[in-house]
C-alpha cells in the first residue's frame, strides 16, 4: 500500500517531466478535414417494419428474414408485405436456391424448406456431424461450417437426401463460410480464417490459416480479395491472388462490433451492430475510404442488398430499408471538366480557371428526407438534392468563377403554375434557410433547370406554393 501511494503521487510528475525532456512524445490529435468524413445524411430511411430478424437472405422475388422463424417478405420497400411466417428452431444462417431454402440450425442440423409458393414448409431434415452453422452455395454443392468438425460439403441435387460429398477438419470452431470460384474462407473465431481449396469437392484442402489480431466473426470474398469482419477488431482486407500466401492490404477500425461485411460494386457495407451500418469505398482495397454511416435504432446484425435498397436486420426492433446513391468523386484540372452523376442525373461543368488549382470535386446525392428544413413552410421538394464540395490537398476549395449545374425536376402531377415556380435553391448555412439561386433558368417543357452559381454546398429543387411569395424579387447571391 505504501509503495502504491508513492507511485500514485509521483507518476503524473514523472510523465510531465518525461514529456518536457523529450523522452515521451505527446500524441497529436489527427486533423481530419470535414469533407473527408463519412456523411451522416447521405443514407435515407425508406421503410421500417417490426419483423424481428438477425439474419437476412434474398432472391429475385422475396426477402427471407430469419430468427427462430423463417419469414417471406415482399422486396418492394413501399409495401414490405409479410406473406408467411413459419416458427422453427433458431436459424444461424440461410441460403436460397430455386424452390428450396437451406437453413443451418446449429445442433439441430440442416433443414430444407420448400418455398415454391412463398409459404415455406419443411421439406427435409438432416443431421450434420458437429452441427450446421454458416452456409454457402458453390454450384450444386452446399458448404456447411460445422463447428468443431470443420467444413462439410453436401450435394443439393437431391435435397431430400443431401449426401455428403467431402469434409475437411479445421482448427477452432468453424461458424461461417463464403465462396468465390474454387476458394472458400471459413471463419473460425480465435483460430482465424481458413483458406480452403474446393476445386475438388470430394477432397477439400486447407491451403493456409490466416491468424488475425481479433477473432474472425465473418468473411466475404469479392473475387480474390477477402474482407474479414473481426468484431471489435474492425475489418481486415487481404489479397488472395496467391491463396497460399495471402497479403494483408489494410485494416479499418470498427465503430462497434463488426458482424457482417457485404461487398458490391467496389462498396463494402458493414453491419456494426450498435453503431448501425457504414458504407466504405474499397475501389482501392489498400486504402478503404468511409463514405456514409447510418445509426440504426437497435443493432445492425445483417445486411442484404437489392438494387439501391439496403435491407437491415435491426435486431430487436425489426427490419429497415435504407437508400444510398453513390457519390461521384473525380479530379478536375485547372482547365476545368465535367462531372456527371448517374444516380440523380445532375451534371456539373467547371470552366477553365473555375478553381485556382486542380481540385478533387465530389458530387454527393442526398435523400430528400435528410435535407435541412428551413423556415419556409411553402417550399415543396420536387427534384434531386445533392452536395457539391471540392478540395486541394487538405484544404477546402471555393470556385474562382461561376460553374454550371444542370438538374431535372420531377414534373409528375405538377400544375402549370407549380412548374413555373420550380427553381434550384441552396442551403444558407448561416441563416439556416433555403435561398433561391438567382441564376436558375427553367425549361418548362422538360423540367430541366440550369444554374451558374459561384458557391458549393447543399442544393435542392423546390417550387413555392405561395404565389405571392414566388413573385417577390429574388434575393441576390452574396
Do 354 and 267 lie in one domain? The reply is no
DSSP lists the bridge partners of residue 408 as 448
Do 87 and 230 lie in one domain? The reply is yes
Exposed, middle or buried by CB within 10 Å (0-12, 13-18, 19+), for 32?
A: exposed
pLDDT per residue over 439-464, tens digit each? Answer: 999 999 999 999 999 999 999 999 99
- Residue 266 predicted with pLDDT over 90: yes
Question: Cα dihedral sign for 233, 235, 237, 240?
Answer: positive
Question: Cα dihedral sign for 171, 201, 66, 308?
Answer: positive
Please state the φ and ψ torsions of residue 315, each to the nearest 5 degrees: -65, 135
Would you say residue 178 lies in a domain? yes
The mean pLDDT value for 413-426 works out to 95
DSSP state of 41: S
Do 357 and 446 lie in one domain? The reply is yes
Would you say residue 7 lies in a domain? no
CATH number, domain of 258, equals 2.130.10.10
Would you say residue 2 lies in a domain? no
Q: Which residues contact 355 (CB under 8 A, 6 or more apart)?
A: 332, 334, 390, 392, 397, 398, 399, 400
Nearest Cα neighbor of 235 from 210, 217, 247, 209 is 217
Do 231 and 343 lie in one domain? The reply is no
Would you say residue 4 lies in a domain? no
Taking only Cα atoms into account, the Rg of the chain, rounded to an integer number of angstroms, comes to 27
The residue among 324, 340, 364 that closes a domain is 324
Q: Which residues contact 292 (CB under 8 A, 6 or more apart)?
A: 38, 39, 40, 42, 43, 278, 279, 324
Would you say residue 117 lies in a domain? yes
The mean pLDDT value for 44-70 works out to 94
Distance, CA of 319 to CA of 300 (rounded, Å): 10
- Residue 125 predicted with pLDDT over 90: yes
* Grid cell digits, residue 133: 452453422
Do 285 and 364 lie in one domain? The reply is no
Cis peptide before 316 (omega within 30 of 0): yes
The mean pLDDT value for 360-389 works out to 94
Percent of the chain residues topping a pLDDT of 70: 90
pLDDT tier, 467 (very low <50, low <70, confident <90, very high otherwise): low
Distance, CA of 439 to CA of 34 (rounded, Å): 28
Do 315 and 53 meet the contact criterion of CB atoms below 8 Å apart?
yes
Would you say residue 339 lies in a domain? yes
Do 242 and 189 lie in one domain? The reply is yes
Cβ atoms < 10 Å from Cβ of 389: 21
Question: Cα dihedral sign for 383, 387, 390, 393?
Answer: negative
- Residue 206 predicted with pLDDT over 70: yes
Do 287 and 303 lie in one domain? The reply is yes
Cβ atoms < 10 Å from Cβ of 455: 15
* Grid cell digits, residue 100: 428450396
Distance, CA of 190 to CA of 185 (rounded, Å): 15
The mean pLDDT value for 258-271 works out to 97
The residue among 324, 349, 379 that closes a domain is 324
CATH number, domain of 407, equals 2.60.220.30
Domains in the chain: how many in total? 2
The mean pLDDT value for 108-121 works out to 89
**pTM: predicted TM-score of the whole model, two decimal places:** 0.87
Residue range of the domain that includes 431: 328-470
Do 293 and 384 lie in one domain? The reply is no
DSSP state of 209: E
CB environment 413-442: b (16+ within 10 A), e (fewer): ebeeebbebbbbbbbbeeeeebbbbebbeb
* Grid cell digits, residue 435: 435561398
Distance, CA of 195 to CA of 239 (rounded, Å): 12
Q: Which residues contact 40 (CB under 8 A, 6 or more apart)?
A: 292, 293, 294, 295
Nearest Cα neighbor of 381 from 362, 358, 347, 407 is 407
- Residue 351 predicted with pLDDT over 80: yes
Do 322 and 357 meet the contact criterion of CB atoms below 8 Å apart?
no
Distance, CA of 475 to CA of 435 (rounded, Å): 7
Do 246 and 168 lie in one domain? The reply is yes
Do 379 and 423 meet the contact criterion of CB atoms below 8 Å apart?
no
Do 181 and 128 lie in one domain? The reply is yes
- Residue 430 predicted with pLDDT over 50: yes
Do 126 and 192 lie in one domain? The reply is yes
Do 162 and 264 lie in one domain? The reply is yes
Quick one: pLDDT at residue 316? 93
Residue carrying C-alpha cell 453513390: 326
pLDDT per residue over 319-350, tens digit each? Answer: 999 999 999 999 999 999 999 999 999 999 99
Would you say residue 262 lies in a domain? yes
Report the chain's mean pLDDT, rounded to a whole number. 90
The residue among 324, 339, 360 that closes a domain is 324
- Distance from the Cα of residue 110 to its chain's centroid: 30
H runs (alpha helix) in 354-425: 416-420
Would you say residue 380 lies in a domain? yes
pLDDT tier, 78 (very low <50, low <70, confident <90, very high otherwise): confident
Helix (H, G, I), strand (E, B) or coil at 212: coil
- Distance from the Cα of residue 376 to its chain's centroid: 33
Amino acid at each position: 500500500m505504501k509503495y502504491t501511494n508513492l507511485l500514485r503521487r509521483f507518476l503524473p510528475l514523472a510523465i510531465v517531466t518525461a514529456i518536457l525532456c523529450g523522452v515521451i512524445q505527446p500524441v497529436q490529435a489527427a486533423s481530419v478535414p470535414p469533407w473527408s468524413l463519412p456523411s451522416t445524411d447521405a443514407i435515407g430511411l425508406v421503410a421500417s417494419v417490426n419483423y424481428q430478424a438477425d439474419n437476412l437472405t434474398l432472391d429475385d422475388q422475396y426477402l427471407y428474414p430469419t430468427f427462430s422463424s423463417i419469414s417471406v417478405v415482399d422486396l418492394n420497400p413501399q409495401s414490405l408485405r409479410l406473406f408467411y411466417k413459419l416458427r422453427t428452431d433458431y436459424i444461424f444462417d440461410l441460403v436460397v436456391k430455386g424452390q428450396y431454402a437451406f437453413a443451418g440450425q446449429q445442433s439441430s442440423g440442416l433443414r430444407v424448406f420448400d418455398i415454391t409458393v412463398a409459404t415455406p414448409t419443411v421439406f427435409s431434415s438432416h443431421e450434420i456431424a458437429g452441427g450446421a452453422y454458416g452456409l454457402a452455395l458453390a454450384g450444386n454443392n452446399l458448404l456447411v461450417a460445422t463447428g468443431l468438425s470443420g467444413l462439410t460439403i453436401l450435394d443439393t441435387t437431391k435435397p431430400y437426401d443431401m449426401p455428403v460429398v467431402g469434409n475437411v477438419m479445421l482448427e477452432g470452431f468453424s461458424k461461417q463460410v463464403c465462396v468465390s470460384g474454387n476458394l472458400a474462407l471459413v471463419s473460425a473465431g480465435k483460430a482465424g480464417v481458413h483458406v480452403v481449396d474446393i476445386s475438388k469437392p470430394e477432397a477439400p484442402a486447407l491451403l493456409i490459416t490466416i491468424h488475425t489480431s481479433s477473432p474472425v466473426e465473418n468473411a466475404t470474398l469479392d473475387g480474390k480479395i477477402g474482407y474479414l469482419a473481426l468484431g471489435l477488431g474492425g475489418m481486415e482486407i487481404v489479397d488472395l491472388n496467391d491463396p497460399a500466401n495471402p497479403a494483408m492490404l489494410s485494416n479499418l477500425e470498427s465503430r462497434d462490433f463488426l458482424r457482417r461485411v457485404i461487398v458490391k460494386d467496389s462498396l463494402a457495407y458493414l453491419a456494426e451492430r450498435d453503431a448501425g451500418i457504414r458504407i466504405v469505398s474499397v475501389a482501392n482495397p489498400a486504402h478503404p475510404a468511409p463514405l456514409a454511416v447510418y445509426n440504426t435504432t437497435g443493432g445492425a446484425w445483417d445486411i442484404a442488398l437489392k438494387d439501391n435498397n439496403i435491407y437491415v436486420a435491426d435486431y430487436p426492433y425489426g427490419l429497415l430499408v435504407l437508400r444510398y446513391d453513390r457519390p461521384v468523386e473525380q479530379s478536375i484540372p485547372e482547365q476545368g471538366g465535367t462531372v456527371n452523376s448517374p444516380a440523380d442525373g445532375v451534371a456539373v461543368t467547371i470552366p477553365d480557371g473555375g478553381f485556382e488549382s486542380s481540385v478533387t470535386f465530389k458530387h454527393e446525392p442526398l435523400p430528400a428526407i435528410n435535407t435541412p428544413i428551413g423556415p419556409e413552410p411553402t417550399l415543396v421538394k420536387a427534384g434531386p438534392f445533392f452536395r457539391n464540395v471540392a478540395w486541394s490537398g487538405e484544404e477546402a476549395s471555393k470556385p474562382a468563377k461561376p460553374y454550371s449545374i444542370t438538374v431535372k425536376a420531377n414534373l409528375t402531377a405538377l400544375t402549370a403554375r407549380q412548374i413555373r415556380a420550380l427553381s434550384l435553391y441552396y442551403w444558407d448555412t448561416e441563416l439556416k434557410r433555403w435561398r433561391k439561386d438567382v441564376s436558375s433558368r427553367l425549361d418548362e417543357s422538360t423540367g430541366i433547370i440550369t444554374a451558374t452559381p459561384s458557391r458549393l454546398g447543399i442544393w435542392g429543387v423546390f417550387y413555392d406554393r405561395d404565389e405571392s411569395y414566388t413573385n417577390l424579387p429574388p434575393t441576390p447571391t452574396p
